[in-house]
Structure 1
Amino acid sequence: MTNNETPRGSEGAGIWMNLGVWIVFGAAFGVLVGTVFGNLALGTALGPGVGLVVGLIFIQNASRRGRPVDPPTDEGP
């Protein structure tokens, strides 16, 4: 069962908390990939950026789900 109540302490966190989580996951993934491929510095440098981009894409797609899609038009080029 679900409800619409937010957990205590989560008010006002919004998109910034979500982005922070994605950046942390990206950094962890960068360290893992950097360790596997033998270039930890590159993985550590690129990981948070990749996490940020993936997080922004995920949040954008999640926010669009509730919006109606514009109907296609029959206008020519």
Structure 2
Amino acid sequence: MELLNVILVIFLILCAIAVERTKDLLSAVIIFAAYSLVMAVLWLLLRSPDVAMTEAAIGAGVTTIMFIAVISRTRRMEK
């Protein structure tokens, strides 16, 4: 269980770095959604299911849909 937590935290750090480095906004949103889902799993492993459900619903669900809607109305690539 401890090894799983370490792997997930390393994945979170890599996702955060990848979101900051990417120039394609849609890719950044997808990576951010993966970050939110892994964060929800971590909350679940920390025995906080209410926070995990909120993170999955708001962080990975609603926020991702809103970001994609905004990107569809603007340019996809950042300068």
Instruction: Compute the TM-score of the two structures, normalised by the length of structure 1.
Output: 0.40
Q: Which has the higher contact order (CA 8 A, sep 6+)?
A: 2
Query: Which structure carries more helix by proportion?
Result: 2
Instruction: Compute the TM-score of the two structures, normalised by the length of structure 2.
Output: 0.39
